[in-house]
Amino acid sequence: MKQRRLSADLAMIFNVGDYRRDAVKGYAGKEFFDPDNTEAVAIRNLCAQNALEDMCNYLQNEGEVAIFDATNTTRERRRTVYNHCVEACYFRVFFVESICDSQEVIQANIREVKLKSPDYKGVLDTVAVEDFLSRIELYAKQYEPIDGKNDEKHYSFIKIFNCGERFLVHKTRGNIQSRVIYFLMNIHVLPRTIYLTRHGESTRNVQQRIGGNAPLSEAGKVYAEALAEYIDNENISDLIVWTSQRQQTIETAAKIDAPKEQWKALNGINAGIFEGLTYREVAERYPEEFAARDRSKYYYRYPGGESYHDLIARLEPVIMELERAENLLVVCHQAVARCILAYFLDKD
């Protein structure tokens, strides 16, 4: 199980594969996924039921969003999930079906995702690929696509074809489902690199002043030179550079030989009436505000400005663009970099 935050929503992943690995010590091989293997089917069904019950228990207590991570390739399995969650527990259910019929996409997905699975730890790549391809054939024997007809016509779902070539959305309900669709339509699984750096030291940094739009200091200019040299030596194909609209980020990226885009959403956190002050001056002039910020930096909102909570909401469209981007360098500000890193490193 893995817990993460989707904006303000507390979410957890319940992976049936983890339950199966706990129940069956060691990977039993592709034969375990044969629909004609009645003993294995019983074990897999029990693992799915245990994961489903744990998920519903989580949602009935502290949870707000849960992800039931399983194949769910038959109408019977989807009906079990739907009935348990909706009719027994009164939760909303949104199915996500990924369909790959491109051999190129399948091979890339196996190399980039499946070979890292605990099932194939210590297994030669060639053996793992052959085994997983056999598992796909076994899944296909009992696969029944979700189609929005007959007894599944009332389900909410999205179908993703070949990792984003095409999408089909059916009966979207509510804000969370809309956000999930937005997320799924922007991600990709192909390998790429995102470089993230704070801007070089600015004259405001030297003065220890909060926020502002300031040129680089001499040390900041040295950093900008070093950054440009580093990026040039990396020889990154099709690199794009994003900066904020603040002078210090633009100057930091100026000597990098790559297309550049300025994003207002990447501007530093708005410190409101504290812009241009030092933290010592804030403590002396506004002791109550200074103490409030120390108590909760995440939710504290600068008077006339933003909180980290506000900043994350502002950055959500940027993060979605990062998800769909290829090789990219982001030159931004400290608070912005913290939020982006927290998202990609799965940190609260």
Q: Per the annotation, where are the binding residues for substrate?
A: 198-205
Q: What six digits make up the tokens of 51?
A: 């994961």
Identity of residue 293: R
Determine contact, residues 189/112, Cβ cutoff 8 Å. yes
- How far is Cα of residue 246 from the mean position of the Cα atoms in its chain? 27
CB–CB of 11/2 below 8 Å? no
Residues belonging to the binding site are: 198-205
Give the separation between CA 290 and CA 281, rounded to whole angstroms. 10
Q: Spell out the residues 6+ positions from residue 123 whose beta carbon is closer than 8 angstroms to its own.
A: 131
DSSP codes, 210-260: -S----B-HHHHHHHHHHHHHHHHHT-TT-EEEE-SSHHHHHHHTT--S-E
Strands (E), the chain: 2-6, 9-15, 65-69, 94-99, 156-161, 166-170, 194-198, 240-243, 260-262, 328-332
Residue 299 in contact with residue 309, Cβ under 8 Å? Answer: yes
